[in-house]
Amino acid sequence: MSRFLFVVPPLTGHINPTVSVGGELARRDHEVAWVGHTEALRTLLPGNTRIFSVANDFSADRLHSFGDQWLRLKGSEELKFFWEEFLVPLGHAMLPAVTAAIDAFAPDVIVSDQQALGGAVAARRSGVPWATSAVTSSELVRPLAAMPKVEEWVTECMAGFQRAHGIADPVDLRWSDQLVLIYSTAALIGPLDGVPAHYVFPGPVLTARPQTTPFPWSWLDPERRRVLVSLGTLNTDVGGRFFRTLLDAVAQEGERWQLIVVASPASIGPTPPHVLVQESVPQLALLSRIDAVVCHGGHNTTCEALSYGLPLVVAPIRDDQPIVAQQVADAGAGIRVKFNRVRSAELREAVLAVLDEPSYRHAARRVQASFAAAGGTVTAADHLEKMT
């Protein structure tokens, strides 16, 4: 029996993969624990899970405020804000809790999210083997390579963080030199030539989630086309124009379609009977009853949809989303549109295409098959076990 310590930021999409992998390790009689923000972890983990809590510097209110400010920025300002106001402060806030957890829990392996810099630094200082949990594959393509000064600045942010905590030989904290788990496959990412051997691609690591969100299941009509629309938890406030454009796009379809929109009903206003608007939905349970997904290209939503063989229309907003959207388009599993400039006619044609043209669904199912073959949670747990 070994001990595994997961270090995660207070972001649902980053916590969920560790819940799946940690649950598999626990089923194999290993001990597992998490370091993170209790407010974010308690709703996602079993009640008896051991949690080492970070001082609540990043409460839900602060995260919402951060998201509001971040979404107003573009280009290098967006990146600078993300590192200076979120990643580095979060690293400083988390490091004492990770250090205390190492002392109290004595882990054999630390599994640190790419955005939990404190986990990687604590592992390096303690000498405990560590793995990276990468919820997106975007960094593989070096998105800043065309902007060497910006890439150099990011590297210096990480180096400065490490020097501040007594590490004289800084490394790229986003990539462990022992094991990197990237929850995707070549069928979506593209060729993996030159990727180091310790980078493992188990595909999405999905597991059943507690059904805490009510949903009117009887509203779904199996005789109609059903489309899920989601822009992720941080983007719904900026999605007003996009949602209205989509509603205009499908209006002429009448009731041939059913649209499930994840957004605040107040932000959209009155909708016809064949459009359902809810602040949150039981997404994994719902995907098995959906025909297509319209989303922002968030890695988790995208891979969850493809895990069910669903084609996508992707309207990327920022961050890694343009890279993920292009992966979907290049794989043939969906259509990329412009979030801010798409017109209703173009959006309608895109949704009709992924619903009606078999090539998109066939490509989505190829990606789905690659995910299944990669092994998901079991493969990720197997590789972590080999580190002990």
pLDDT in tens, 40-71: 898 889 889 999 999 866 665 666 666 666 66
pTM over 0.85: yes
pLDDT grade for 14, boundaries at 50, 70 and 90: very high
**157-193 tens-digit pLDDT:** 999 999 999 999 999 999 999 999 999 999 999 998 8
**293-315 tens-digit pLDDT:** 999 999 999 999 999 999 999 99
* Residue 232 or residue 197, greater confidence: 197
* CATH number at 3-182: 3.40.50.2000
217-372 CATH pick, 3.90.1170.50, 3.50.50.60, 3.40.50.2000, 3.50.90.10: 3.40.50.2000
pLDDT grade for 341, boundaries at 50, 70 and 90: confident
Q: Given this chain, do its domains 3-182 and 217-372 carry the same CATH topology?
A: yes
The residue ranges of every structural domain in the chain are 3-182, 217-372
pLDDT grade for 105, boundaries at 50, 70 and 90: very high
Q: Quick one: tokens of 31?
A: 């001990």
Rounded Cα distance, 60 and 276, in Å: 26
pLDDT grade for 240, boundaries at 50, 70 and 90: confident
Burial 96-114 (b: 16+ CB within 10 A, else e): ebbbebbeebebbbbbbbb
Q: Quick one: tokens of 213?
A: 């969100």
- What is the pLDDT at residue 197? 95
- What is the pLDDT at residue 137? 87
Q: Quick one: tokens of 167?
A: 């590490």
What count of residues does the chain have? 388
